[in-house]
Amino acid sequence: MARSNNVKVVPESKQALDILKYEIAAELGLPVGKNMMANADTEFATELGAIPSSSIKEDYWGHISSRDAGAVGGSITKRLIQKAEEVMFTL
């Protein structure tokens, strides 16, 4: 039986990573969203018409290209490394 290697070291981090993921997606102008998030960037973009409000789906990324999804993942990694370096160098 195959074992999943995608196990989080800190399971409590899931919500924080989800928030970061949707924050970065909004910064990149990607039409994804969650009702639990009251993200001002996404809300502002829908008001201006940059992102049609009808295209924002509940936790669905199937319409996002691999390149854009990878950009979100890369940005998450970059920010996490920056935070870790800040913590290491301030101690």
Tell me, yes or no, whether 52 lies in a domain.
yes
Tell me, yes or no, whether 6 lies in a domain.
no
Report residue 78 as tokens: 């970059």
Per the structure, the complete domain to which residue 36 belongs is given by 12-90
Tell me, yes or no, whether 43 lies in a domain.
yes
Q: Please count the structural domains in the chain.
A: 1
Tell me, yes or no, whether 40 lies in a domain.
yes
Which pLDDT tens digit goes with each residue over 23-64?
999 899 888 875 434 444 555 555 555 555 555 556 778 888
Tell me, yes or no, whether 2 lies in a domain.
no
Report residue 20 as tokens: 């970061």
Report residue 11 as tokens: 């399971």
Question: Which has more confidence, 2 or 53?
Answer: 2
Q: How many CB atoms lie within 10 A of CB 30?
A: 23
The model scores a pTM over 0.75: no
Handedness of CA 25, 60, 63, 78 (dihedral sign): positive
